[in-house]
Amino acid sequence: MAGPPTEVSFNNLRSWFRLYPKGLAVLCGHPTVNSLAQRLLAMPLVKEERVVVLDAGNLFDPYLFTFMAQSAGKEPREFLRRIIISRSFTCHQTYALVHRAARLDPNFSRSILILGLLNTFYDGEVPEGERRALLKKTVALLKRISEAGNQVLVTSTPPPLPVRGGFSAILFDAADVTVTLEAKPDGSFSLHRLVPARDTGRPRI
């Protein structure tokens, strides 16, 4: 099993996202992206800023924030009380949470993390066309939130089984920056920036 990404990789990731103080960023690939994304929230939390977390995959790790707080010389409760977290279990709930976030005062929080955004949109119990339409509306709201001056970070991992509908393409093509994390055979990790379809001329999937 691949080990955790090195600090060098994490620092590279942090540097890339610093270039986008606002905008829609996507961190995708190996499941470790979810812990990496949560680690990125240490910066605003140390500055005593509030952060909003929308958890669409039961991925939030309070123990990680406890460790980060202690590493920063802070009381864990100082970090945790500044995190406003909501969870969703269906694609309709995910859309509703994003819609609620879009109505927040822009000064309430400048950092919004959506963990596992696509997870609930892979639910085969909901018709594919309905899920696609709802995801497009959700992504449009995330773009609106980012254009209001917020940094929006979304994580995405491959579905457990092949999924039709091009859901990841809808998300990636809307992003201002997309970084993918890949595990190498030797157990190390590599980070790569992806170029949106709109900038390459390749057809949308």
Render pLDDT for 163-184 as a digit per residue (tens, 0 to 9).
776 899 999 999 988 888 887 7
- The H-or-E segment that residue 51 falls in is strand 51-55
Query: CA 190, 9, 25, 129: dihedral to nearest 10 degrees?
Result: 30
CATH code for position 121? 3.40.50.300
Q: Is residue 167 part of a domain?
A: yes
Write out the residue range of the structural domain in which residue 106 sits: 22-184
Domain count, the chain: 1
pLDDT block averages, 10 residues each, the chain of length 205: 52 59 84 90 87 94 91 90 94 96 83 94 92 96 90 88 80 89 78 60 38
Q: Is the dihedral of CA 64, 69, 73, 74 positive or negative?
A: negative
In a domain, 4, yes or no: no
How far apart are alpha carbons 97 and 83 in whole angstroms?
15
Strands 111-115 and 51-55: parallel
pLDDT at 200: 43
Is residue 108, in this structure, part of any structural domain at all? yes
Is 203 domain-assigned? no
Look at residue 198 and tell me if it is in a domain: no
